[in-house]
A and B are shown apart, each in its own frame.
Chain A
């Protein structure tokens, strides 16, 4: 029984791959998640188009992080399903989402502060020059070359690839984190508050970088408390409130006041 349904899924997957994919890169459908008695997500639908920056906004505990953790496989949904790139996706573990082409950039920056940009860009998938028994000799010069390419490609210029991350500015660290995500050739990049800890003058640069991902055909889900950032770069905005997706709007069709009312009242000011 089980193997049969897998086969059906696979053949459907082949079909989907042979066709041009539909409108949406990501479709999360009817996602529910409870923690004990607390219902964190109550049947959330979220669609992200190809080459789109989707702003995901909501008050604290609205369910943004939980929803994203389900998409990356850190949590399993109680009910609901995910369609990714035209195929039903079975995401049980962060490895699964990564192999599908989903990269998450964490708020607390998953970077090693005392290590340099090259080490961080290649952490967990280092180039190996050769093996000596169970020890592997790493190819640092090769990695440094590739690191330069990765960063150049995104027009990120660090003062040096040798400086530890702690010595770089918040914006440059964020840029390296984005560079690391992009180097996995993802289809979707999820960013959790990428501009939260940045100096104001660096925010624009990071937003530009997010915009440039769209030009490369990468979709972005941008979680942010800073609505002005979301309005500057997002194509559409989805508002979560108390575990429900209360609205999705094209950014140009709504005002910041509309979004704020949706976040806190669950409806727009004019009662639309």
Chain B
């Protein structure tokens, strides 16, 4: 039967001319966006290397890598949370909690492996509580994690009495100071995480459901997807990634201080959104997030090399984020 129904003759509601949306040449929106980010980064890097002789050096790029590794690792989890149409503001507090926990466990004489696992577990527990508040108590994720952000930070201060301690452990400082071949361990771990989680998001049922639930949770529920379970996993993964970032921060600082990671949630969310993840969920990928993290880190680094005062850096980074989201709104049709 050659004749189909009239549906095939219906013009799709796409504005693009037909040849641009042909069978093979599809609008690979994600890919295009990542390409634009890469170009933007190259432009930024070119400007900085023109303005500062110190920018384009191996040592400086290693500095950038180290500087972005903490935010970068936490952003892996935040990307998953945001793609699922959630949000997690506890990132910075969980980093602090992880720093305090690992410091406390090490000072109790617990071996490094145990202390590291303990800190990760503490992060995972925060994820469970976030999940309970959002899934069970049905509290808006923004409010639930805003509250938890304050609770966790408070706990870190209460436990430490607001006092910082030095972490004296050679094997623990390997985390921040060690190397795999020539690559510093934090950068190596960040790289492995991005590749691994990118593949998980692209090829597995978990990734597929994160995107689908972020897109239309109701449709997923109707199709029999266990949306609640997925939300728990997403928040647990998000908080555990933040805890992992906290471990590297503690190791680099060689100290356990309760205010560690304060405000990082904003840097993390900014990088993820700059990387093309949609605040309304269902869209985003880790390559974009990595580019977002790298761009933010490069701006930090370049401004510092150029002796731009920190306050101006804050203004510049905020503007970069707003412009990035604005460009995205034009493309996707806007907020309203």
Chain A 103-134, CB-CB to B under 8 Å as 1, else 0, gives: 00010111111110001100111101000100
Which chain A residues border B216 with CB–CB below 8 Å?
A: 110-113
| Least distance between B62 CB and chain A CB atoms (Å) | 33
Q: Are the C-beta atoms of B21 and A163 separated by less than 8 Å?
A: yes
Q: Are the C-beta atoms of A110 and B222 separated by less than 8 Å?
A: yes
| Least distance between A180 CB and chain B CB atoms (Å) | 9
**Cβ 8 A contact of A172, one of B10, B200, B204:** B10
Is B65 interfacial (CB-CB < 8 Å)? no
Chain B 199-213, CB-CB to A under 8 Å as 1, else 0, gives: 010011110100110
| Least distance between B15 CB and chain A CB atoms (Å) | 10
Complex: how many Å from CA A253 to CA B295? Answer: 71
| Among all A-B residue pairs, the 5 with the closest Cβ atoms | A124-B223, A155-B4, A157-B8, A112-B215, A205-B6
Complex: how many Å from CA A109 to CA B222? Answer: 10
Which chain B residues border A205 with CB–CB below 8 Å?
A: 5-7, 10
* Residue of A132, A204, A205, A208 with highest tally of chain B CB at under 10 A: A205
Is B11 interfacial (CB-CB < 8 Å)? yes
Which chain B residues border A154 with CB–CB below 8 Å?
A: 5
**Cβ 8 A contact of A171, one of B10, B200, B223, B224:** B10
| Least distance between A103 CB and chain B CB atoms (Å) | 11
Q: Are the C-beta atoms of B10 and A113 separated by less than 8 Å?
A: no
**Cβ 8 A contact of B224, one of A95, A159, A201:** A95
Q: Are the C-beta atoms of B222 and A137 separated by less than 8 Å?
A: no
Q: Are the C-beta atoms of A160 and B10 separated by less than 8 Å?
A: no
Interface residues of A, Cβ cutoff 8 Å to B: 94-95, 106, 108-115, 119-120, 123-126, 128, 132, 135-138, 154-160, 162-163, 167-172, 175, 201-202, 204-206, 208-209, 212
| Least distance between B17 CB and chain A CB atoms (Å) | 12
Complex: how many Å from CA A172 to CA B11? Answer: 9
Which chain B residues border A137 with CB–CB below 8 Å?
A: 203-204
Complex: how many Å from CA A138 to CA B211? Answer: 14
Is B38 interfacial (CB-CB < 8 Å)? no
Complex: how many Å from CA A169 to CA B8? Answer: 11
Which chain B residue shows the least CB distance to A201? B10
Which chain B residue shows the least CB distance to A106? B222
16 contacts between A and B (CB under 8 A): A108-B218, A110-B216, A111-B216, A112-B211, A112-B215, A112-B216, A125-B224, A135-B205, A136-B205, A155-B4, A155-B7, A159-B14, A159-B21, A160-B22, A169-B10, A209-B7
**Cβ 8 A contact of B12, one of A109, A172, A204:** A172
Which B residues, 8 to 40, have Cβ-Cβ distances below 8 Å to chain A?
8, 10-14, 18, 21-23, 26
Q: Given contacts A114-B211, A119-B208, A168-B13, are A160 and B21 in contact (CB under 8 A)?
A: yes
Q: Are the C-beta atoms of B205 and A169 separated by less than 8 Å?
A: no
Complex: how many Å from CA A196 to CA B280? Answer: 26
Q: Are the C-beta atoms of A172 and B220 separated by less than 8 Å?
A: no
Is B225 interfacial (CB-CB < 8 Å)? yes
Q: Are the C-beta atoms of B5 and A110 separated by less than 8 Å?
A: no
Q: Given contacts A111-B216, A172-B10, are A138 and B208 in contact (CB under 8 A)?
A: yes
* Residue of B7, B200, B212, B222 with highest tally of chain A CB at under 10 A: B7
Which B residues, 259 to 294, have Cβ-Cβ distances below 8 Å to chain A?
282-283
Which chain B residues border A170 with CB–CB below 8 Å?
A: 13
Which chain A residues border B146 with CB–CB below 8 Å?
A: none
Which chain B residues border A112 with CB–CB below 8 Å?
A: 211-212, 215-216, 219-220, 282
Which chain B residue shows the least CB distance to A104? B222
Q: Given contacts A135-B205, A137-B203, A169-B11, are A114 and B283 in contact (CB under 8 A)?
A: yes
Complex: how many Å from CA A155 to CA B4? Answer: 5
A156-B5, A160-B21, A204-B6 are known contacts; what are 11 more A-B pairs with Cβ within 8 Å? A106-B222, A110-B219, A112-B215, A112-B219, A123-B219, A123-B220, A159-B23, A163-B21, A167-B13, A171-B10, A209-B7
